[in-house]
Amino acid sequence: MALLKAINIKKTYSDAGNVLEVLTGLNFSVEKGETIAVTGESGCGKSTLLHILGILDRPDSGEIHYAGQKIDFKQKHIAGFRNRTIGFVFQFHYLLEDFTASENVAIPQFIASGNWNESIRVAKDLLTRVDMQSHCDKYPNQLSGGEQQRVAVARALVNRPEIILADEPTGNLDPRHSDEVIDLMINLNEEVNCSFIMVTHNIEISARMNTHYILENGRLAKQG
């Protein structure tokens, strides 16, 4: 059974009377432990796809299934489901500026469990695994770009999600830090067997994933 399944997803945007069809009946599935790269031209709807798969946004029509269960976007506990099941890594780190690195990582766990001490312990363990143990008490503005993204990766993993969605996670990084982050994510995939869907412009990165899709004309086409 596929971990994640998208069936006939459609999404349009309206702008000053003009209707832009971004996704036009997209079908897609992800198996457990699979790593997927999604590439495409700028503005083709890659981020929109990721937001819909991550239940951050609603499709105009179509269905999303997680582990065989259809997702109801109006469901009251959708936030809790997202907290437990899905991890996000955005292009910009989107860390909370008023919290330290360890607090940023701990917060999703704390939202799930309500136990702050345990959440901080788990967070610090994860930061050690991403080689950030000496930066636990630093604030985001005290970290480099690569370090911030490492913290964001650790935050995405803190609840042991089944799937991590990464929207151009290396888009703002230099080549050295990009490689570090991609290596980290691939190693973690091998360690914890969570699925990755990564949106990227980088052909080299997409080549390192199990599967490569191109988003064209609102639909995904498998490459290779």
Partner 1 sequence: MPRAIKIILFFLRNSLRLGKKQLKRSETIVSYGGFAISVAILTASLTLLDGYQRTLKEGLLGVNAHIYIYDTGEKLSENEIARLEGFLENQPEVKSFTPVMMTQIMATGERQVRGAIARSMDWEHPDPPTNYHRYINRGTGELSDRYDAVIGSGLASFLQIDVGDKLNLISPANMQYTIFGLQTGTISVDVKGIYHSGIYDSDSRTVFLNREVLSTLRYTREDTVVDTAEVYYDLVEVKLIDEHVNRADYLIYLWNMMLDNEFIIYSWIDYNSNLFTMLVVQKWVIGIILSFLVLIASFNIISNTTTSIMERKKDIGILKATGCNNGILKAFFLSKTMILSLIAILSGVGAGLLLAYLLTKQTYLMLKGDVYFIEQFTIQPDIQIITVTVAVSLVIALWATLISLRKISSLTIVEAIRN
Beta strands in the chain (DSSP E): 4-15, 18-30, 35-39, 61-66, 69-70, 86-89, 163-167, 195-199, 211-216, 219-223
Q: Which of 66, 88, 196, 213 binds partner 1 (CB under 8 A)?
A: 88
Structure tokens at 9: 């997803």
Shortest distance in whole angstroms from residue 210 CB to partner 1: 25
Range 141-200, binding partner 1 (CB under 8 A): 155, 159
84 exposed, middle or buried (CB, 10 Å; 0-12, 13-18, 19+)?
middle
**Residue 10 sits in the site that holds partner 1 (CB under 8 A):** no
Closest contact distance (angstroms) between CB of 111 and partner 1 is 5
Instruction: For tokens 């610090």, name the residue.
Output: 124
Report which residue type is found at 71: I
Q: Does 66 bind partner 1 (CB under 8 A)?
A: no
The residue range among 29-37, 102-110, 170-178, 214-222 that interacts with partner 1, by the rule CB under 8 A, is 102-110
By CB under 8 A, tell whether 114 contacts partner 1.
yes
Binding segment toward partner 1, per CB under 8 A, in 63-71, 108-116, 183-191, 214-222: 108-116
Distance CA 6, CA 114 (A): 32
Q: Is 211 helix (H, G, I), strand (E, B) or coil?
A: strand
Interaction site with partner 1 (CB under 8 A)? 51, 54, 56-57, 77, 79-80, 82-84, 88, 90, 94-99, 107-108, 110-114, 116, 155, 159
